[in-house]
């Protein structure tokens, strides 16, 4: 559609779905002069998820960890079209994407369909509730920016309500009991951040309540953080014990109610525990649009975990679709590290593909021209016959050269390079499993926390975000966290 796309009919159209870890990394590396590039995402920004739990307790301001997608695309060599919309359907046969404007304000047009030559599919995943009753209605999630903002509001509401005059002690205990479901890194980091808030700020702002707050982390498996080494799991558990964060392992949440959670304990007994707030960090599942797309390719897409791709990130069974990040089912963990490496890799492959397509287009044009060369006839002059033979020879030579170059086209398969796993566990301590030589170094404590901070600061995508995050950390050190509730 004319005004929207920087459309060049000579170039192929590359549609990118999503503005998360995978696709943002792709956009940073992509040579945008190769394609007509269109980015479609319901969020017009990139969210730095590792620092999301810090937003939930007010250590960081929400805007410090987001970056508008246009900040990245505006510096590209050729204009990129960024559309704030949610893709609702991908047709892998006719190669089209349908998307809708699902924001509050809508214009005369709020749904349309465009064609792609290549599609980069990076829509991530959504929260897995396992259809457990009450989760959707009563629990807070920790996946999107809005989730962290909502959690901060509700958490502060619990604290203010507990401080209401005349509240009996049983009700105060309930309101100040925070339950985090899921002992993966999200649940652990969030519990650590919550603990910091209580320790650093609540004691001085609400001294009468401080000792009454309880945090319980519920995990269905026998231990928290299964992806970390045993030594670091033990370290985290002992730190949590010291911080008075109770860990309930082999315990499954069966229902979330307005004022309680229903737990199945290790001995299979059912217990209802009163609480003020439940944060659901129990993992992710594929989005509906992903399931719908996979259902259109039933022979090749049978993995329930997500999209099956080959070693070049091509969606199996589809022509021209590449999938990266959390929406895929690969041998790698669904992490930002994997998604961003896949995005950067794919950008390089797409550059090679653009070169291959240009060679192929030239070859096709030559073959077409050759087919239309007028045959030499006896009435032609000797010079004309010689010139025609010369032209045919030149075309043949160029064709041979193009075929030689096309035969050389062989992108390298994706190779993941693991840089280590880090997690914040509260009280200015972090844990890290870092690859070293052919082994692993496990470390935990305050020094690791400083490493965690500097690693995340340097991974933030822009100087602007680094400045905002560093300033927020200094502000909290000087003035404490903001306990006002918007």
- Interface positions with ligand FAD (CB under 6 A): 17-23, 40-43, 49-50, 52-53, 86-87, 122-124, 142-143, 186, 287, 289, 325-327, 334-337, 339
| Helix, strand, or coil (residue 38) | strand
92 lies in the binding site for ligand NAD (CB under 6 A): no
180 lies in the binding site for ligand NAD (CB under 6 A): no
Rounded to a whole number of angstroms, the minimum distance from the CB of residue 258 to ligand NAD is 18
483 lies in the binding site for ligand NAD (CB under 6 A): no
Residue 346 has which token pair?
A: 């794919």
Rounded to a whole number of angstroms, the minimum distance from the CB of residue 398 to ligand NAD is 50
Q: Which residue lies nearer to ligand NAD by CB, 156 or 309? A: 309
Closest CA to 218 of 246, 248, 191, 189: 248
Q: Kindly write down the DSSP assignment for every residue of 398-431, as one continuous string.
A: HHHHHHHHHHH--PPPP------EEEEEETTEEE
Residue 20 has which token pair?
A: 């998360």
Among 253, 327, 432, 469, binds ligand NAD (CB under 6 A): 253
Q: Which residue lies nearer to ligand FAD by CB, 22 or 134? A: 22
Q: Which does 325 bind (CB under 5 to 8 A by kind): ligand NAD, ligand FAD, none?
A: ligand FAD
Task: Characterize 184-223 residue by residue with b for buried, 16 or more Cβ atoms within 10 angstroms of its Cβ, and e for exposed.
Answer: bbbbbbbbbbbbbbbebbbeeebeebeebbbbbbbbeeeb
Q: Which residue lies nearer to ligand FAD by CB, 205 or 332? A: 332
First-to-last C-alpha distance (Å) of the chain? 41
Among 124, 182, 192, 426, binds ligand NAD (CB under 6 A): 182
181 lies in the binding site for ligand NAD (CB under 6 A): yes
Q: How many residues bind ligand NAD (CB under 6 A)?
A: 27
C-alpha span between 154 and 275 (Å, rounded) = 12
Among 64, 73, 152, 186, binds ligand NAD (CB under 6 A): 186
Rounded to a whole number of angstroms, the minimum distance from the CB of residue 186 to ligand NAD is 3
How are strands ordered across the β-sheet holding 140-141?
A: 140-141, 277-280, 177-181, 214-218, 245-248
C-alpha span between 106 and 122 (Å, rounded) = 25
Rounded to a whole number of angstroms, the minimum distance from the CB of residue 140 to ligand FAD is 12
Residue nearest to ligand NAD (CB): 184
Rounded to a whole number of angstroms, the minimum distance from the CB of residue 103 to ligand NAD is 27
Nearest 5°: phi and psi at 431?
-120, 150
């Amino acid at each position: 559609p004319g005004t929207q796309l920087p459309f060049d009919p000579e170039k192929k159209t590359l549609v990118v779905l999503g503005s998360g870890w995978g696709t943002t990394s792709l956009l940073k590396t992509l040579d945008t002069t190769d394609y007509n590039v269109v980015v479609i995402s319901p969020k017009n920004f990139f969210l730095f998820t590792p620092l999301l739990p810090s937003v939930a307790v007010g250590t960081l301001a929400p805007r410090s960890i987001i970056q508008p997608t246009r900040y990245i695309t505006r510096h590209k060599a050729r204009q990129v079209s960024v559309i704030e919309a949610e893709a609702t359907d991908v047709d892998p046969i006719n190669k089209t994407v349908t998307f809708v404007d699902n924001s509050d304000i809508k214009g005369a047009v709020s749904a349309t369909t465009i064609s792609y030559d290549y599609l980069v599919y990076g829509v991530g995943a959504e929260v897995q509730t396992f259809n457990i009753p009450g989760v959707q209605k009563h629990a807070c999630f920790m996946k999107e920016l809005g989730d962290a903002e909502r959690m901060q509001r509700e958490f502060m509401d619990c604290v203010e309500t507990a401080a209401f005059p005349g509240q009996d002690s049983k009700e105060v205990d309930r309101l100040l009991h925070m339950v985090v479901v899921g002992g993966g890194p999200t649940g652990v980091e969030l519990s650590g951040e919550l603990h910091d808030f209580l320790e650093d700020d609540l004691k001085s702002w609400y001294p009468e309540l401080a000792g009454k707050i309880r945090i319980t982390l519920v995990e269905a498996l026998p231990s928290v953080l299964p992806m970390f080494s045993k030594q670091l799991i033990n370290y985290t558990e002992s730190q949590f014990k010291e911080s008075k964060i109770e860990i309930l392992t082999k315990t499954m949440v069966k229902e979330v109610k307005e004022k309680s959670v229903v737990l199945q304990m290790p001995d299979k007994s059912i217990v209802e525990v009163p609480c003020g707030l439940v944060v659901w960090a129990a993992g992710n599942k594929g989005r509906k649009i992903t399931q719908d797309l996979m259902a259109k390719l039933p022979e090749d897409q049978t993995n329930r975990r997500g999209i099956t791709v080959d070693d070049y990130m091509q969606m199996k069974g589809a022509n021209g679709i590449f999938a990266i990040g959390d929406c895929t089912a690969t041998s790698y963990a669904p992490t930002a590290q994997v998604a961003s490496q896949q995005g950067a890799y794919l950008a390089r492959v797409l550059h090679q593909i653009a070169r291959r397509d240009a060679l192929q287009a030239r070859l096709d044009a030559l073959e077409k021209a050759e087919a239309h060369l007028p045959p030499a006839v006896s009435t032609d002059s000797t010079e004309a016959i010689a010139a025609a033979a010369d032209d045919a020879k030149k075309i043949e030579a160029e064709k041979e050269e193009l075929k030689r170059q096309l035969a050389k086209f062989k992108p390298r398969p994706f190779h993941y390079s693991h840089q280590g796993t880090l997690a914040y566990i509260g009280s200015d301590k972090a844990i890290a499993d870092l690859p070293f030589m052919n082994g692993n170094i496990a470390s935990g404590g305050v020094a690791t926390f400083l490493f965690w901070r500097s690693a995340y600061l340097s991974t933030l995508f822009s100087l602007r975000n680094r400045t905002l995050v560093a300033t927020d950390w200094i502000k909290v050190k000087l003035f404490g966290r903001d306990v006002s509730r918007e």
